[in-house]
Structures are given as structure tokens and as C-alpha cells.
Amino acid sequence: MSYDHQGPASVITASRHLGTEDDECLNENANIKMTSSGKPTIVRLDFDAPLTWPGNPNFVTVNVPDGTSVSGVIVALERPADGPGWVTFTVDD
């Protein structure tokens, strides 16, 4: 399945670790570019403005305006405090 999208989306960044409460940050109307490839599916999410992140983030969910939702475990990320960045995550599909 393709998870490609460009434009506004709701992005939830989360820290989910066994034995602790989930810590989530909602980033509404983030301007993103999302592309996917491979099996297992790897999604790359580029954002043009900094997102809000919890401590020790390891999970991300993206909700696009058409109702599609995609989420997974973070593989790598670049999250500068003052500019664009990216995150890649795996999707179980």
C-alpha cells in the first residue's frame, strides 16, 4: 500500500515504552511530504517546520485529511529545533 501525501496533516509524535505512561504530542496542520517504499514498508515524513516531540520519541502517527491514518515505530529522525526535518518509520501492513 502507498502512503504518499503532500500537504497538511495531523502528526502525533509519541514516546511509548513498557512500564511507563505514553507521552504524546499532537502537531495539527503540519505541512508535510510523506513517501513510502519497500516491504516491509518504510515511510519517510519530511516536515518544513519543527514539530513538537516528547522525550525519547519512538512512535509516530500521521492522519491525513482524506481519513487515512498510518503509524509505526521510528527508525531514524532529524529534528532541528529551528527548521525543517524528517523522520522515517516502519509500517506493519
**Grid cell digits, residue 43:** 515511510
Query: What confidence score (pLDDT) does residue 92 get?
Result: 80
Q: How far apart are the C-alpha atoms of 73 and 92, rounded to whole Å? A: 9
The pLDDT tens digits for 32-86 are: 999 999 888 999 999 999 999 999 999 999 999 999 999 999 999 999 989 999 9
Domains: count for the chain: 1
Q: Which residues pair with 5 in a beta bridge?
A: 34
pTM: 0.92
Q: Which three cell numbers stand for residue 72?
A: 509505526
Answer with the residue of higher pLDDT: 91 or 2.
91
Structural domain boundaries, residue 43: 5-91
End-to-end CA distance of the chain: 8
DSSP 88: E
Q: Quote the CA–CA distance of 28 and 32 in Å, as a whole number.
A: 11
* CATH of residue 87: 2.40.10
